[in-house]
């Protein structure tokens, strides 16, 4: 009797398990079927709308045009950086990737729904005309930018070299919009510029991250290695560029640890980039200059160096673009640009819509200087040593004659015109002293 009860209980337990498994399978199958049904219903709705618009719209629009408009609208509504690239847009992107194109020389992005200048590129028509990072573009040749995509705006701003364009902007601190006249030019980007400050400080300006940034910076450091006691890395108004170049640039100054990671929806999109000791070139004190025009790759560099406590960040808070886009061809001549992941700094903090905060906040401007006309110095006294002064003056003249070309040197007068750079140099001096250099 006892055995029979156990057999019965065992049978019931097995039957219950089979029933639960069967029920679970049915639930899973139903879930898949429901998902598939929902997809089919959504596609049917989309097809129905396309058909109605094609049939009844006041203007005759082909099915190809309707599909392009639908794709364009879908991509725009995903985020500010995803979009559909038509044949014309895709070709324009390929031309820009080659490093030389006709236009104004600015990088733009969407910030709070407004078309915003991320940064003007050094020496370009936009830079010379006075456009600044943070300017909001209201109109392009009298066309409002409200509701306009980044690609539409870029399309309007590009044109034949020598053709003029007028933009209306809103600038913080100005009471009314400003009208700026610009003449389009060939935009050729030279990403790395180097100069010397006080003979022992190397100034490296990185304007954007093209494929030669790491090698150019490496060459500059090696060239001045014997005399360099500190480095100023200027990433102001740098709109970003290639991720691998940003990683390699950090690796020049950091010998171990995480540099940046990206996390997406798919496991294959998750990646981590780390520093390697063999690529590290220097450990001299480092100051990095940033501002609101520093975006994307420049935020990765400044943020990673800050997390590793490898530098002092000076300037203003950065733009806050910490997302990863890829261009995926969908036909021979068309593609989509899609956001697939977000960047995270070594500490785990995000850049997206947050940016990187400097260690020392310094607004742009000039250093206010004045000379006291009534101050009395040794040279003003009757018994001053005239001969010694003459010797000093002649030695100074000889030294200046032996220095490099003036275009490769940042003078004290130039420093006084850039208070952010001046602050960076002063901080670097203190770091060099404290480290006993």
Catalytic positions, written as ranges: 296, 307, 321
CA angle 162/163/166 to nearest 5° reads 125
In Å, what is the CA distance from 418 to each residue of 198, 207, 245, 413? Answer: 16, 17, 27, 9
Element (H, E) at 384: none
Closest among 430, 407, 428 to 228, alpha carbons compared: 428
Length of the chain: 437
Closest among 71, 74, 156 to 108, alpha carbons compared: 156
Q: Taking the CA atoms of 63, 69, 73 and 76 in sequence, report the sign of the dihedral they define.
A: positive
Residues in Cβ contact with 70 at an 8 Å cutoff, skipping those fewer than 6 apart: 46, 50
Q: Residue 154 and residue 141: Cα distance in Å, rounded?
A: 12
* Burial call 393-409: b when 16+ CB within 10 Å, e when fewer: eeeeeeeeeeeeeeeeb
Torsion of the alpha carbons at 265, 267, 269 and 275, rounded to the nearest 10: 130
CB of 179 within 8 A of CB of 166? Answer: yes
Q: Residue 154 and residue 436: Cα distance in Å, rounded?
A: 50
Q: Residue 240 and residue 146: Cα distance in Å, rounded?
A: 25
* Side-chain-facing half-sphere of 229: CA atoms under 13 Å: 16
């Amino acid at each position: 009797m006892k055995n029979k009860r156990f057999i019965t209980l065992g049978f019931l337990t097995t039957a219950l398990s089979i029933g639960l498994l069967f029920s679970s399978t049915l639930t899973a199958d139903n879930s898949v079927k429901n998902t598939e049904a929902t997809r089919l219903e959504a596609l049917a709705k989309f097809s129905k709308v396309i058909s109605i618009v094609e049939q009844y719209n006041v203007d005759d629009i082909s099915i190809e045009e309707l599909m392009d408009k639908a794709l364009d609208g879908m991509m725009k509504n995903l985020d500010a950086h995803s979009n559909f690239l038509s044949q014309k847009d895709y070709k324009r992107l390929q031309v820009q990737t080659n490093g030389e194109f006709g236009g104004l020389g600015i990088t733009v992005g969407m910030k709070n729904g407004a078309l915003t200048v991320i940064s003007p590129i050094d020496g370009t028509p936009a830079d010379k005309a006075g456009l600044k990072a943070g300017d909001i573009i209201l109109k392009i040749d009298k066309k409002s930018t409200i509701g306009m995509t980044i690609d539409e705006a870029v399309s309007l701003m590009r044109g034949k070299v020598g053709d003029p364009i007028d933009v209306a902007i809103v600038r913080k601190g100005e009471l009314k919009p400003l009208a700026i006249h610009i003449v389009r030019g060939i935009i050729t980007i030279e990403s790395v510029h180097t100069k010397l400050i006080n003979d022992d400080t190397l100034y490296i300006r990185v304007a954007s991250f093209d494929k030669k940034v790491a090698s150019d910076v490496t060459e500059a450091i090696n060239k001045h290695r014997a005399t360099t006691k500190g480095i100023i890395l200027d990433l102001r108004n740098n709109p970003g560029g290639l991720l691998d170049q940003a990683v390699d640039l950090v690796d020049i100054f950091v010998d171990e640890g995480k540099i940046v990671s990206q996390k997406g929806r798919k496991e294959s999109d998750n990646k981590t980039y780390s520093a390697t000791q063999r690529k590290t070139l220097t450990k001299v004190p480092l100051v990095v200059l940033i501002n609101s025009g520093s975006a994307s790759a420049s935020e990765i560099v400044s943020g990673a160096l800050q997390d590793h406590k490898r530098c002092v960040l000076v300037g203003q808070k950065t733009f806050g673009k910490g997302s990863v886009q890829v261009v995926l061809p969908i036909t021979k001549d068309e593609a989509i640009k899609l956001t697939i992941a977000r960047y995270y700094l070594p500490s785990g903090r995000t850049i997206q819509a947050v940016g990187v905060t400097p260690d020392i906040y310094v607004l742009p401007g000039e250093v206010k200087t004045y000379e006291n006309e009534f101050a009395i110095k040794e040279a003003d006294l009757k018994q001053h040593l005239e001969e010694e002064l003459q010797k000093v003056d002649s030695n100074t003249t000889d030294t200046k004659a032996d220095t490099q070309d003036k275009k490769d040197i940042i003078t004290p007068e130039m420093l006084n015109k850039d208070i952010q750079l001046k602050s960076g140099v002063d901080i670097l001096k203190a770091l060099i002293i404290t480290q006993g250099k």
